[in-house]
Amino acid sequence: MKKIAILTSGGDAPGMNNAVRSIVKTALAKGMEPYLVYEGYYGLHSGNIKLATEVNVDQYIAKGGTFIYSARFPEFKNPKIRLEAKKQLDNLGIEALVVIGGDGSYYGAQLLHEIGVKTMGLPGTIDNDITSSEFTIGFDTALNSIVENVDRIRDTMESHNRAAVVEVMGHGSGDLALFAGLATGAEVVVTSENIKSPKEIASIVKKQIKEMGKRSVIIIVSELIYDNLDKLSKTIEEFSGVVTRGMSLSHLQRGGVPTAMERVNSSLMGIKAVEYLIKGESGLAIGILNGKFTGTPILEALALPREDRHKFANIVNDLNQS
Ligand code: ADP
């Protein structure tokens, strides 16, 4: 195999640039010609493809987002559009494509694999919701951003004897909330697997402040559980008697300089993808499983059940409320 292409798709995630860099450099070292596809499947379909040697990929090593850009392109679900996209690769003699993205992007990669493009998927999503990898590209950086912001919010709440509801990303997977909860000592963590009513939260807040004498309470909630954060905060305030503020970290948690672990893991996953392609493999999702970098057939990867986090959620809540 001589020519391979890379694209990033779906939500951007810090570490994507490190993965792209590592794929490009590994491919060049193995005598291949790497190409960059700009704007995900949209760019693949329109032929926005450039030789990677035209770009200095090292300059993005400490930059979040994705320098080859991303796009949402629902038209890619249409088989005719996928054949047209494949034609763009065929015209350039490109045999393989590495797709860095979430589960939607993985479906696209699987369908390309089925029509003869050699594909590899890398788990690019801050939500940590790709079960074929214990950690996804972007998760560690987003987690660190959340922790940094919650620490700041804690300073203020502590000074004023208040509670704060902090909404973070990750609906289907509550890992950002749970891991951030453990790292910040948030007294309450609510995820889709572990929902609490506003009154239940209020009674914990009341106990923590009025009985246990804490100066502040942090409540971390995953997105899309409560439809109105102001309303939730008001209800908590009303039933606990503790002044409560609500805020969403929103896109503050998505971008930013990739952490060291992010850079390391993303780079190693990129190398692994090229190694599998050289071996002639296709249709694999690269990830870290039991501490090892490995490939799982994409369809199998998409069907793997999520790890049950109930016990973990209880541990976090028990530890932080004591
Ligand atoms: P993510 O990859 O982060 O889950 P999306 O679900 O938005 O993000 O998917 C990213 C892109 O992948 C979509 O815009 C579309 O181009 C492609 N895609 C998603 N689902 C499918 C599918 N079922 N079949 C083919 N392509 C898909």
Chain segment 255-302, per-residue pLDDT in tens: 999 999 999 999 999 999 999 999 999 999 999 999 999 999 999 999
* Dihedral class, residue 180 (left if φ above 0, else alpha if ψ from -120 to 50, else beta): alpha
Atom of ligand 1 nearest to the CA of 71: 14
The one-letter amino acid code at 277 reads: L
The reply to whether ligand 1 has any atom less than 6 angstroms from the CB of 129 is no
Residue 1 has pLDDT above 80, yes or no: no
The reply to whether ligand 1 has any atom less than 6 angstroms from the CB of 136 is no
The reply to whether ligand 1 has any atom less than 6 angstroms from the CB of 174 is no
Check residue 48 and give its pLDDT.
98
pLDDT tens readout for residues 161-213: 999 999 999 988 999 999 999 999 999 999 998 999 999 999 999 999 999 99
Q: What's the CA gap between 20 and 37, in Å, rounded?
A: 11
- In angstroms, what is the span from residue 159 Cα to ligand 1's centroid? 45
pLDDT tens readout for residues 219-233: 999 999 999 999 999
- In angstroms, what is the span from residue 229 Cα to ligand 1's centroid? 29
Burial 136-151 (b: 16+ CB within 10 A, else e): bbbbbbbbbbbbebbe
The one-letter amino acid code at 89 reads: L
User: Which residue among 37, 48, 73, 76 is best mutated to probe the pocket of ligand 1, counting the most ligand atoms within 8 A of its Cβ?
Assistant: 76
Cβ-proximal residues to 267 (8 Å cutoff; 6+ apart), any chain: 18, 19, 21, 22
User: Which residue among 38, 77, 100, 302 is best mutated to probe the pocket of ligand 1, counting the most ligand atoms within 8 A of its Cβ?
Assistant: 77
pTM above 0.75, yes or no: yes
The mean pLDDT value for 303-310 works out to 92
The overall average pLDDT reported for the chain is 97
Catalytically active residues, by annotation: 127
Q: What's the CA gap between 292 and 176, in Å, rounded?
A: 22
